[in-house]
Amino acid sequence: MSNILDKIFADKKKELPDTQSKTPLSEIKQRIKDQQPALDVFKSLEKGKTSRIIAEIKPKTPFKGELRKGFDAKAIARDYVEHGAATLSILTESNYFGSNIEVLPEIRKVATIPLLRKDFIFDEYQVFESRAYGADLFLLIATWLDQSLMTDLLCQGKELGMPALIETHNEWDMEKAFAANAELIGINNRDLTNGKTDLGITRRLAPMALQEKGKVLVCESGIHGREEIEEFEGLGVHAFLIGESLMTAEDIPGKLKELLGHGGE
């Protein structure tokens, strides 16, 4: 494989038939009927008096390894909700990020805010699966997906009342997001092919993303402090998806409050 992103997707493709065999689509669709309607992430991420943070839960990454000793997804989710997160991002990939989709319904028990299923999605089964396990929105990676497939999956999610966060990393990705009529656009400062992070990506792409009205823009990866959030809010960014700086913090509630600008409270 040419890079880690290709390898992750290749392994996901190998896994999918077994997943479908264990839990057929008919069973997944039945489970969707038992779910409450998806929570409104657009309302959750509306600009207000405080910054909007999508706080991420992940045990490890292929770039940094294990992120937190004594990892407890449910306890972390509770801390995030109680201390001001607007939305939660839940990694559900097992081989490289050490998680699984079963964590979604567990976190839903303690979270009353929208849940983003963050995984490597390329098939409509995974979109149905996301809603069946309680996700309110799901991730699509524009760098890897071709235009037509990404648009189809985005539309599939809308039919289920569940938007997609279209993740971009360059101008070509952004053009694909526009062509798919994405309303929720992420700019990932991390290059998923090699793990390198550069905040200059958001500085370069934010003006392009905001050329079209009505888009909700999310800055992803590499945010470590309040100063960076204030800079990017000044560029028009609506929300911030933050994972590692929270997951590695000694005091998660304290770090979240600092990022929100409540450090002195």
The residues annotated as belonging to the active site are 56, 58, 118, 167, 188, 220-221
CA distance 188 to 197: 9
CA–CA distances in Å: residue 181 to residues 41, 55, 134, 158, 212:
17, 25, 24, 11, 10
Whether 183 contacts 215, CB under 8 Å: yes
Whether 214 contacts 45, CB under 8 Å: no
CA distance 193 to 54: 23
How far is Cα of residue 25 from the mean position of the Cα atoms in its chain? 24
CA distance 44 to 66: 30
Q: How many CA atoms lie within 13 A of 214 on its CB side?
A: 4
Burial of 199 (C-beta count, 10 Å sphere; 0-12/13-18/19+)? middle
